[in-house]
Structure 1
Amino acid sequence: MKNSLSKIIAFCTRHRFSCAIIAAISLIGVGAAVAQSIWLGNYKTKVANQAYFPTKNCINMAGGLEAPIEGEWGFKFQEDDFSNIKNKGFDTVRIPIDWSSRASKQSPYQIDNNFFKRTDEIIKWGLNQKLNIIINVHNYEEIYQAPDENTNRLVALWSQIAQHYRNAPQNLMFEIINEPRDAFSGDKMNQAQYRALLEIRKTNPTRTVIFSGDNWGTIGGMYNLNIPNDPYIVATVHHYLPFEFTHQGAEWLGAQAPPMGRDFPIGSDKKDLHNYVQKIAQWRTHLGIPVFVGEYGTSESVPRHLRARWAGEVTRELQMAQIPACYFNYNAGFGIYDRKSGWDKLILDSIIDQPQDELKLRR
C-alpha cells in the first residue's frame, strides 16, 4: 500500500494536478511552539466570524498559472474566459498559482515582477466581470517534503503577495496553501499557515484568508486543522471520492490508475456521500466559520454521463447543506469547457444552482 501511494504521489507531482489521494498520515497534534491560546478551537467564546465569502457557484481555472509555463498544460488565460464563466451562472473562480517557481531560492525570495504583471492582468479580467476571485499558493512541492527549509519562504511569498494586492477589492481572497501533505502536516502545517496569516494581516487586516487541512486537503485532514482566533477566516476541504470512480483510467496515473468500469452510484455510495457532507457541516458548526469545498471533479476518462451524474449528486448534497463548492475544472485537466467545442452542457447543468423547491423535494 505504501509503495502504491508513493507511486501515485509521484505521478501527481509530475503532472501537478490535484489528486486528492487519501494518504496514510498519522494525526499530529499542535505542539507547544505556538501558544495554544491563539487557536479558535480552545476559546470558550469564539470571535464572531465576519469573513466576506459570497461564494455559491465556483469553478477552478487550473492548468494555467500553476504550469511551469502558462499554456504548457493546455490552458492559457484569455479575457473572454471570465465573461464566459460569468454568463453561465458562476460567481467565483479559484485560480491555482505556482508562485514558488517564479521566486528566487534565496532570501528575500523575490517574486518575478513580470509574473506579477501577468497575474494582475488575469485578476483584473475577473474583477471586471464582478467575479469573486480566490488565489492560492499551488504546487509548492518542496514544502511538502521539507517544511522546515521552506516555511520562511512561504511566509515571504505571502508577504509580497499581500503587499502587492493590499488595495484590491474584498472579493479577491487568499488561500494560503493547496493540499498540505506528507511532511507538511499537523503542527508544521498549522504553524506555517498561522505565520503566513500574521504576515498577511500586516497589510490586509480584514481580507478573507482560507485555511486547509492536511492529508491532501481531504476530509481526513480537516480534523488536524487548527484555526487561529481571527474573524476573517474560511476553511476548505477537497472531495474526489470514491477515488476508484473519479480517477478511473486517468492516463497521468499510468499503471496506478483505478481500472475503467466503476459505476456510480453503487452500494453505499449515496449514503457515504451524505455522511461525508454532514461531517463537513458538523465541522463548520464546531469551528463557527464558513467552510467550502474548494475542489471536486472527475477525470475526463470517466464516461461523460457518469461524470455528470456524480457531479450532480455531489453538488446537490452540498447545496442542501448550504456548503458552497468550486468545481474542478474549467479547461484542461478534468475540464468541462473546450475552446473549440464549448461547454459540456450535461456536466455544466449538473453543477449550477438548482431551484430551492427541487432541493426540498430531494430531502
Structure 2
Amino acid sequence: MRTSILTLCVCSLLLAGCGGGSTSGTETTPPPTPTPTPTPTPTHSFPYVPIASARATTGPALPIGKCVNMGNQLELQTEGSGGRRIRQADFAMIKAGGFSTVRLPARFSAHASNRAPYTIDSSFMERVRQVTQWATDAGLNVIIDMHHYDEIQTDPVGQKDRFVAMWAQIAETFFNAPGSVWFELLNEPHIALTNATLPDIYVPALAAIRRTNIARPVIIGGGGTSHIDSLRDMPMPDDPYVVPTFHYYEPFAFTHQGAEYITPTPPLGATFGSAADYARLDSDLQTVRDYMARTGRVPFVGEYGAIHYASVSQRAIYYGAVSHAFASIGIQSCAWSFTNTFHLSNDSGWILEITNAIATTTD
C-alpha cells in the first residue's frame, strides 16, 4: 500500500530568445535569424518499475506490447461521423511511435442483416479487412473487436444466433490472416450479459470461429463492462487459445469528467495523483495478481485512458501511472485512443507528453 503522493519530475526549458542587432548604412546582408530552441516535452516519473511480461501456465499470453485503440472510427454507425476516418499512414505513425498492437473496434451489428443468415454488408467487411491489412503491413498486431453491439446487451437470448453468425463470417473472412490478427468476442458486456450468462453466447460463437480458425487467439471480457472486478468470477470456455481482458477507467470521476454521454455527467475539474488514487491503483494490481495466481492466466488491459477535457499534463500523469503500474506486475495495456476521442494524437502528430509517458513490459 502506498502512503506518499506521487513525486512528479517535470523538466522544462525556456525558449531561447530571438537576438537582434543594429545595422549600419554599409551593411548589405541581414543578420541570420536564430533558430528557436523547441520546447522540450515534460517528463514524469512514477513509483512503479516495469518488468518482463507475466508468463501464463494456462492459455496464451499475447505479445501486446505498447498498444493503442483506433477509437471512434469503425465502431460508429458511419465511419467519419465522429471525427476523421482511418488512414493507411496512421499505422506507419503508430509503429514509429513505438507501438506494437492496435485494437480495432468495429460495429459489425450496424452492418448486418437482422434476419438469418445475418449477412454482414460486404463493403463494411472489406473495409475492416483493408484496415487490418494496412496495420499488418506496418508490422502491427491487430485485435478485431466486436464493439457497440447494443442489442445483445439487453436481449442475449434473442440475439445469440445473430452473434454466432456474425462471428462465423468474420472468422471465415480472416481465415488466411497471419497469426498476429486476433479476435475479441464482445466489447464490455453489461446489462443482461453477466459472468453467469456470458457462456451462453461465448461458447457457441467460439465454436463457430474454431470451424475455420483452429488456433487463433480469441479474447474474452467479463460482465459489468469488463470492469477489473469481473476477473473475480469470470468464466472461461474450455479452449486452449482464449485470453482474458479487462478495462480500467478508475477513478471514473477523473477519467470521464465532462463526458456528456454519461448521466449524470461527471463534473469538470477532477484531478489524479492523490494518495487515495494510488492506494486504489495498488489494490487493483492485487486483484490482477490474485487472478493470475488462481487461474494461471495472464490478462491484459484492453482499454484505459482519460478524457480530453482533463489537461494534457494530468492526462500524461494518468496514462503513465496506469501503464507503469500494470507493467510492474507484467501486464500489458492498450490505451484509448489514437484520435477522435480521448485522443493521443492530433493534426501535428503524437501528443508526446502523454505518449512518452506510456510504458509496457520490458520484453
Alignment-derived partner of residue 225 in structure 2: 216
Q: Which runs of 5+ in 1 are unaligned?
A: 1-46, 357-363
Alignment-derived partner of residue 3 in structure 1: none
Task: Assess if the C-alpha contact under 8 Å between 2:331 and 2:361 holds in 1.
Answer: no
Match of 1:284 among 288, 292, 317: 292
Alignment-derived partner of residue 128 in structure 1: 137
1:16-62 deviation line (CA, Å, top 9, x unaligned): xxxxxxxxxxxxxxxxxxxxxxxxxxxxxxx9645362111110001
| Distance verdict in 2 for CA 1:122–1:214, change over 3 Å | same
CA distance in 2, matches of 1:317, 1:52: 18
Task: Assess if the C-alpha contact under 8 Å between 2:145 and 2:184 holds in 1.
Answer: yes
CA distance in 1, matches of 2:239, 2:361: 33
CA distance in 2, matches of 1:202, 1:289: 24
Runs of 4+ in structure 1 over 3 Å off: 47-50, 352-356
**CA positional deviation for 1:229:** 2.2
Q: Which runs of 5+ in 2 are unaligned?
A: 1-55
Which is greater in Rg? 2
CA distance in 1, matches of 2:67, 2:293: 22
1:213-241 deviation line (CA, Å, top 9, x unaligned): 00011012222421122211110000000
Task: Assess if the C-alpha contact under 8 Å between 2:332 and 2:360 holds in 1.
Answer: no
**CA positional deviation for 1:353:** 4.0
Alignment-derived partner of residue 350 in structure 1: 357
Q: Which has the higher helix share?
A: 1
2:304 pairs with 1:296 = yes
Task: Assess if the C-alpha contact under 8 Å between 2:333 and 2:360 holds in 1.
Answer: no
CA distance in 2, matches of 1:354, 1:68: 35
Q: Secondary structure at the match of 1:121?
A: helix
Task: Assess if the C-alpha contact under 8 Å between 1:213 and 1:223 holds in 2.
Answer: no
**CA positional deviation for 1:354:** 8.0
> Pairwise CA RMSD of aligned residues?
1.7
Matched to 2:240, the amino acid is P
2:160 pairs with 1:151 = yes
2:332 pairs with 1:332 = no
Matched to 1:114, the amino acid is S
Task: Assess if the C-alpha contact under 8 Å between 2:112 and 2:119 holds in 1.
Answer: yes
Alignment-derived partner of residue 20 in structure 2: none
CA distance in 2, matches of 1:283, 1:336: 30
Match of 2:256 among 247, 251, 255: 247
Alignment-derived partner of residue 266 in structure 2: 258
CA distance in 2, matches of 1:61, 1:178: 14
Task: Assess if the C-alpha contact under 8 Å between 2:185 and 2:218 holds in 1.
Answer: yes
Task: Assess if the C-alpha contact under 8 Å between 2:72 and 2:340 holds in 1.
Answer: yes
Task: Assess if the C-alpha contact under 8 Å between 1:52 and 1:170 holds in 2.
Answer: no
2:88 pairs with 1:83 = no
2:246 pairs with 1:237 = yes
Alignment-derived partner of residue 49 in structure 2: none
Alignment-derived partner of residue 167 in structure 1: 176
Query: Sequence identity of aligned pairs in percent?
Result: 35
Matched to 1:202, the amino acid is R
CA distance in 1, matches of 2:185, 2:109: 12
| Distance verdict in 2 for CA 1:354–1:321, change over 3 Å | closer
2:123 pairs with 1:119 = no
**How high is the TM-score relative to the length of structure 1?**
0.82
